[in-house]
Amino acid sequence: MLYIGVDLGTSAVKLLVMDETGDIKKIVSKEYPLFFPHPGWSEQKPEDWFEKSMEGIKELTAECDKSQVAGISFGGQMHGLVALDKDDNVIRPAILWNDGRTGEETEYLNEVIGKDKLSEYTANIAFAGFTAPKILWMKKHEPENFEKIAKIMLPKDYLAYKLSGSFCTDVSDASGMLLMDVKNRSWSKEMMDICGITEDKLPKLYESYEVVGTLKKEIADELGFAENVKVIAGAGDNAAAAVGTGTVGDGMCNISLGTSGTIFISSNKFGVDENNALHSFAHADGHYHLMGCMLSAASCNKWWNEEILKTKDFAAEQAGITKLGENRVFYLPYLMGERSPHNNPDARAMFIGMSMDTTREDMTQAVLEGVAFGLRDSLEVARSLGIKIERTKICGGGAKSPLWKKMIANIMNLKVDVVENEEGPALGGAMLAAVGCGEYPDVEAAAAKIVKVVDTVGPDEELTAKYEERYQQFRKLYPTVKCLYEKG
């Protein structure tokens, strides 16, 4: 049988089709626009997601036996607010995960409602990118739109709804809304009251591997599929990527170098760090995970190369970098503000430490190192909880860089395992579809069969020591310059 995974990303939808053994038959990607109507805002049109996903599925399956397609599932960009009216029309463009407009609402939730209460209700505190602050923003700034809301959903759930008619979400993605009681995997009545919404406006909660429905007849006809093709709930992009790299079960780690950067630690037990610096979310394997998320990771490298250096040859820019652990230039990777562990939407990127002999290579190296240092900030929080991590998987566009992988290994002092098929959330989505269709008994069994480690990048003792010294300098920078971000 064939299983389709749909990775609804920020810049494009990536789709793959695999068979029951995990053999990937084809991969397709379709881009769509991203809108920045005001500084710090970030929006997309859900209609674009659906249009490009349908185009992608048709292209993906054009040459295969469509009667063999058994299930479709998703990995999706998290936290985005998609609001539909009673006629299922999109009320306004979706407000995305990297949108920073909700500073006041986030402060209200954290300071007036209180972080302790939020953590009690949801296991997390408010971050500007989360969904609940966006609902409060809409309530205050667009009251006429707020009154029209009949359904609130996350980006990938809009696709599931359009394909199947099922108003659904999964627990891993819903964990990032600040509306769900993560420990008990249910909606939080207290948070609904705070946001002024009722439970009928929220989707039904499913585990990531559960079937939510089958294709609508008109969709099945358009795609040339059978109507009994199952639609499986899917997961937030990071949880789906973790499935795709085999980061399931207890004590596993995955680092993602995508548009955003994450460090993802799976756990069989529910847990929260006392400062809520890491997100405590439900995992797609039926258990839990801790996650640190930085808003700009590979996007820092893309910005530096394409906007500043005016080149798309990223490899050429990295070719001349040889003095690892000796760079005097530091880069703070906060182009869009920062989430973990600083929770500051007003933070901004900066270079520090240039001198007359600073080179282009030094600056490029600083960008790559700055992202790795930023991820280590979150790793240190996990280590403070007594979590012992010795190795990690790695995925995302940035993971294609041998240099960046070497930096990650030595800055974090971890063995970095490279998997055979680095297809992230799309592969994870397809694996969840296979589990939902009964091909595997559970997510861990699917990962054990499908995910294969083909290389390991280990830390070098001497280089790790050099980077330890650099990291201790890096971690002093944000507290020192934090006052510069404050709005006066």
Q: What is the largest distance, in Å, between two alpha-carbon atoms of the chain?
A: 67
Q: Are 91 and 84 in contact (CB under 8 A)?
A: yes
Q: Kind and range of the H or E element at 330?
A: strand 330-332
Examine the residue annotation and report whether 285 is marked as an active-site residue of this protein. Answer: no
Q: Which residues fall within 8 angstroms of residue 85, CB to CB, at 6 or more apart?
A: 91, 148, 149, 150
DSSP letter, residue 75: E
Phi-psi region at 310: left, alpha or beta (left = phi > 0; alpha = psi -120 to 50): left
Q: Give backbone dihedrals phi and psi of 178, rounded to 5 degrees, phi first.
A: 65, 30
Question: Among 314, 300, 309, 292, which residue's Cα sits nearest to residue 350?
Answer: 300
Sign of torsion, CA 388 390 393 399? positive
Q: Which residues fall within 8 angstroms of residue 78, CB to CB, at 6 or more apart?
A: 97, 154, 155, 173, 176, 236, 237, 238
Q: Which residues fall within 8 angstroms of residue 14, CB to CB, at 6 or more apart?
A: 6, 7, 27, 28, 29, 423, 425, 426
Is 79 labelled as part of a ligand binding site?
A: yes
Q: Spot the catalytic one: 99, 157, 173, 237.
A: 237
Amino acid at 203: P
Q: Give backbone dihedrals phi and psi of 472, rounded to 5 degrees, phi first.
A: -65, -30
Rounded distance, CA 451 to CA 247, Å?
A: 10
Residues contributing to the annotated binding site for substrate: 78-79
Residues contributing to the annotated binding site: 78-79
Catalytic residues: 237
